[in-house]
Structures are given as structure tokens and as C-alpha cells.
């Protein structure tokens, strides 16, 4: 009998599907022709499946809203970008690169700062001002309390999960698994010390699974230290900065890149302090990076 559901776990060629109707977990395999057709089911996929025997079979993957490569997951609504204040040090360039990739996949980003207690008062005040700029100018929700894992802030974050598929992402060692342990103690996710020599985290998360938390599905996912922009065309990049979109209709030229064009509203707003200088500088850096890919290929 054909049913529909969502893959919430993938392990060694088996897929655990949550049945839409009964809310029961069914272990399945993908049909043999999936491999020939080069189709790989992902955690988060909505699927039709048959479960007449002990083991069900995935018949078809339903159309995806989006999918990520790192982590391999589909149909994501929200991404919590876990950003470390120290060990590894905060990088606006890396944060903006992650945000651009999330926007490119039409996922809503939320910024969550960790390890702020390792900063001096002065350093923290400066970083908090920077991050609140993201909230003020780009309309991103930002969590940046000095005590990263206080109950009030964690509860406020949990309230964003309802009816969404949420992933945690960010540089390795930023504390994604630690944050998830504070969100749900039963998860028991592995955490690891930072490798001091590399200033990078050790990958502690081995597989993607979705957990039912606060009325939504939440994934713990591997972090990364770097990410590229190869799949983003230069003409799309300006649309991936929400604060640029606010003003781009006021630019003289449609399709304005906000670089050397005359009467550019984005550059006017930048000079008025309505757009963060660091965001604009990173935008130019990314544009240059994307153009350099074109030359190489």
C-alpha cells in the first residue's frame, strides 16, 4: 500500500521514514532503479513508499524545495548559523559567506553566537555591536548573549522551531553539538575539544538525523571551516544580501551590481550608514571570487 512520509534518518543504505498518516517510523530501502537514475534520497526528503512487509521501499522522491550538499539534507526551512566568538575566532567574511549560501538556497538564517564568555568586556561589546548590525540592517534574527547557553536564550531559540525543518551549521568547532545538547539533553550528541594547533574543530557529527523538538524537526549537521561560492552566478549575488534588496529598486540601473554604477542607491545607503561597511566589503570580495571562478573555467 502506497503511503507518504519524510526521511528522518539515513544509515548504511537504509532510510527511516516517518509516516505522514500514522506518525510511525518505517525502515525502508530505495528502489533498485534509483542508483541507475542517479537519484540519492536525502534526509528531509518527502517520499512515497510501500510498506507491506517488514521492510518498506521508497517508490519516489517528491519534489524538493531545496537541498544542501554539506550537510546532505533536503527541504530545509531554517538554518541556525552557529558563530564562534573565539576558538575559532569570529570571522565576518566566513559568516557572510555562509549567509549568502543559505539565502541562495531560500532558507531563512538565524545567527547564534557562542563562546562570547572568552572575550574581554571591550571585545564582546564590539562584537555585539557588529552582530546587532546584522539584525538592524539585514533583518536577521540574532542571538548574542554573553552567556551563550542561558535558559532564557535557549528557550527563545526553541520557539523558532515549530513547524519547520531546522539545520545547525557554521564553522567546525563553533559549538553546534554543544548547543543542541542544551536544547535537548536526550540527544547526547558527541562534542569534542578544539584542536589548538589548527584552530579548527574536529568533525564530531557522523550522520544527519532529524529530531522532533518543540513541534519541529531539527538536524545536527557536520560543520565546515571553509565554503565556496561556485554555484552562485555574479548577477544573483546582490539579491542574496537582504539589505541591498531593500534599496536596489531605487538604483538608476536595473540589475545594478552596486560597484561602479552611477546613482546607486545601495552605495548611497552605505555612505549614510544604513548598510554595514563590513557586509559591503565582503560583498565586493565575494563578487571578485565569483568572477575569478569564471576566468579559471
Binding-site residue numbers for Zn(2+) are 251, 256, 258, 264
259: which DSSP letter?
A: S
Burial class of residue 123 in the structure, from the number of CB atoms within 10 Å of its CB (0-12 exposed, 13-18 middle, 19+ buried): middle
Q: CA-CA distance, 42 to 75, in Å (whole number)?
A: 9
Burial class (CB in 10 A: 0-12, 13-18, 19+), 264: buried
Buried b (16+ CB within 10 A) or exposed e, 138-151: bebbbbbbeebeee
Q: How many CB atoms lie within 10 A of CB 154?
A: 18
Binding-site annotation, residues for GTP: 114-117, 170-178
Alpha carbons 110 and 168: distance in angstroms, whole number: 10
Burial code (b: 16+ CB inside 10 Å, e: under 16) for 96-106 equals bbbbbbbbbee
Radius of gyration over every alpha carbon of the chain, rounded to an integer in angstroms: 21
CB atoms closer than 10 angstroms to residue 205: 21
Q: Using the 8-state DSSP alphabet, how is residue 132 labeled?
A: H
Q: Pick out the residues of the known binding site.
A: 114-117, 170-178, 251, 256, 258, 264
End-to-end CA distance of the chain: 49
Q: Which three cell numbers stand for residue 177?
A: 553539538
Amino acid at each position: 500500500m502506497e503511503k507518504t512520509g519524510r526521511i528522518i534518518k539515513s544509515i548504511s543504505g537504509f532510510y527511516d521514514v516517518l509516516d505522514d498518516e500514522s506518525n510511525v517510523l518505517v525502515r525502508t530501502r530505495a528502489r533498485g532503479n534509483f542508483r541507475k537514475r542517479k537519484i540519492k534520497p536525502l534526509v528531509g526528503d518527502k517520499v512515497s513508499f510501500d510498506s507491506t512487509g517488514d521492510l518498506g521501499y521508497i517508490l519516489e522522491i517528491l519534489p524538493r524545495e531545496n537541498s544542501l550538499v554539506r550537510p546532505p539534507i533536503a527541504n530545509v526551512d531554517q538554518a541556525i548559523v552557529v558563530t564562534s566568538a573565539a576558538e575559532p575566532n569570529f570571522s565576518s567574511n566566513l559568516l557572510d559567506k555562509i549567509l549568502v549560501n543559505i539565502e541562495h538556497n531560500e532558507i531563512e538564517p538565524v545567527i547564534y553566537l557562542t563562546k562570547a564568555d572568552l572575550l574581554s568586556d571591550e571585545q564582546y561589546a564590539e562584537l555585539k555591536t557588529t552582530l546587532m548590525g546584522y539584525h538592524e540592517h539585514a533583518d536577521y534574527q540574532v542571538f548574542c548573549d554573553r552567556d551563550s547557553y542561558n535558559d532564557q536564550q535557549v528557550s527563545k531559540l526553541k520557539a523558532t522551531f515549530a513547524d519547520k525543518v531546522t539545520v545547525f551549521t557554521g564553522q567546525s568547532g563553533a559549538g553546534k553539538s554543544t548547543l543542541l545538547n542544551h536544547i535537548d539533553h536526550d540527544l547526547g550528541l558527541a562534542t569534542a575539544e578544539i584542536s589548538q594547533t589548527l584552530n579548527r574543530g574536529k568533525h564530531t557529527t557522523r550522520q544527519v538525523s532529524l529530531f522532533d523538538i518543540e513541534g519541529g524537526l531539527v538536524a545536527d549537521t557536520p560543520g565546515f571551516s571553509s565554503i565556496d561560492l561556485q554555484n552562485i552566478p555574479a548577477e544573483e549575488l546582490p539579491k542574496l544580501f537582504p539589505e541591498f534588496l531593500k534599496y536596489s529598486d531605487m538604483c538608476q540601473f536595473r540589475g545594478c551590481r552596486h560597484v561602479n554604477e552611477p546613482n546607486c542607491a545601495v552605495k548611497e545607503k552605505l555612505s549614510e550608514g544604513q548598510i554595514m561597511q563590513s557586509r559591503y566589503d565582503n560583498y565586493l570580495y565575494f563578487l571578485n571570487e565569483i568572477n575569478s571562478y569564471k576566468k579559471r573555467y
